[in-house]
Amino acid sequence: MKNNKENVKLHKDYPIVCVWPGTGLPEGQEQDLVDWFKTEFGVKVQFLEVIFTKPDRGDKGPEAGGRSDVFFAVHKEDVMKFAMPKIQIEARWLEDVLDKGNYRSPIYPHRVFDYPH
């Protein structure tokens, strides 16, 4: 997979975008991921894209670059239900990812700031 040139349009009722850092997803397995979230956690998600982040800034942890991150949106009815599973799989709300250093040395394309967060 390669980075998209523009953001994926969110389906109706999918207002919150999440990032699953360091997670790859082979092309053609997008629906498998959606099904996995439903089976594993009972939540509806919309797969958006995989973004290959810009090279590592020398930081450690989720703010460091040089990896692939899965972007997905959570259905409005499942946002609260997903709060604990999100921690279990080490996914993050997009607003948290963007607030933690992406302003000073962005690892994502600037267009991701247009996703709802």
pLDDT tens for residues 15-49? 999 999 989 888 899 999 999 999 999 999 999 99
The number of beta carbons lying within 10 Å of the beta carbon of residue 80 is 10
> What pLDDT band is residue 57 in, cutting at 50, 70 and 90?
low
Domain-wise residue ranges, the chain: 16-104
What pLDDT is attached to residue 14? 96
pLDDT tens for residues 75-109? 999 999 999 999 999 999 998 888 655 555 577 88
Cβ neighbourhood burial of 23 (10 Å; 0-12, 13-18, 19+): middle
- Can you give the pTM of this predicted structure? 0.85
What pLDDT is attached to residue 83? 93
For the domain spanning 16-104, the CATH number is: 3.30.70
